Chains A and B, each alone.
Chain A
Amino acid sequence: MINKDFFFKGYKSILAHDSPAIALGCCFIAIGALLKNLGFNIQESIFSTMLTYALPGSLVMAESLLVGASLLNIFLAVWFVNARLYPMAVSLFPLMMHEDQPKWKYYFSCHFIAVSAWLIMKSNYKTIPEKYRIDYWIGIGSATWSVAVIGTLIGFYFSEYLNKEMMMGLAILNPVYFLCMMVGAFKTRQVTLSVLLGIILGPVFYFFSPEWSILLGGVVGGTIAYLVGEKNVN
């Protein structure tokens, strides 16, 4: 089963001085308020955060519902915007694989793949013994997931007290937090170049195809950064 020591060590990571809890909680407060304004009830709002647990995906769903999009359209739009989770999973799970650990832990815990948890794990995995990294990851994921659910709950009930300026403040908080975490992750030339190229190419591709801009920016920028990094190593 799950090793309690490492699970709680992971869970407590949100209490650290550079914890994502505040930023993540505030973002989901904004989501809670948005869902209420869209006509969701409290059960639907909580259900949405628990099952999706991905901020851009929830935003896309909310927008799609607003314009009366079909279920197929919602599926495709969310799939595009959340396709980033695929390379995130492939670049994280090999760090946690261990032959003594059952497969179900990996399949179950892939639900926790989200930017905050991913960045925390990426910066801390070396301090955890390989065998228990998956338990530590489940701890981090459970903690960030709980914060998201609580944030949605607060946002839903306090939405009438949030004016437009406050909602804008909550909306900018998430990209700024992620940007700081990514700048903090500038440890190798490949990662630094990947982030810089992604920042430039994402908006550039937006002019050609808004739907594909994130994926194209990521694939082209990431591949160039990888090739440049490999060439320099060789």
Chain B
Amino acid sequence: MSTSIVLAILVTSLATFLSRFLGAVSSEGIKETSKIFKWFNCLAYATLAALIARTIIFPVGVMDDSSYLVRFVVVVLSLTVFFISKKNYVYPTIFSAISMAILVNYF
């Protein structure tokens, strides 16, 4: 293994574990019904939503080469499939991958 890659992996895992571990330690003593728990619950959902929106609107990596229109159409159609399939998670997910692979050839 090359040293720089191994060090990068170790640094990445340390940076990731830090947030997880601090979260686990600081949640000791927090009650499920407390206000701080409710607040952190809102923060977690909002942060995840922000991450998802950023990934779709300002993607990094391979998806950066696709147009906004394609990504928007794929997301809207996938959400439609999600509701039509009575909130099944697998169908819209597979649909999104196939429709994206097809649509990027045309737009």
Contact = CB atoms under 8 A, between A and B. Distances in A.
Contacts of A196: 49
B100 A169 contact: yes
A10 interface: no
A103 B27 CA distance: 12
Contacts of B48: 84, 88, 115, 178, 182, 195, 198, 218
> How extensive is the interface on chain A, given as a class?
35 or more
A56 B19 CA distance: 14
A180 B54 CA distance: 16
**Is chain A's binding surface mostly helix, strand, loop or mixed?**
helix
**Is chain B's binding surface mostly helix, strand, loop or mixed?**
helix
B90 A44 contact: no
Interface of A: 17-20, 22-23, 26, 30, 34, 39-41, 43-44, 47-48, 51-54, 56-65, 71, 74-76, 78-79, 82-95, 97, 106-107, 110-111, 113, 115, 118, 164-185, 190-191, 193-203, 205-206, 210, 213-215, 217-223, 225-226, 229-230
Given A87-B40, A110-B24, 8 more contacts: A172-B71, A176-B92, A178-B48, A179-B78, A190-B38, A198-B47, A202-B53, A218-B43
Interface of B: 1-2, 4-28, 30-32, 34-35, 37-63, 65-66, 71, 74-75, 78-79, 82, 87-90, 92-94, 96-98, 100-102, 104-105
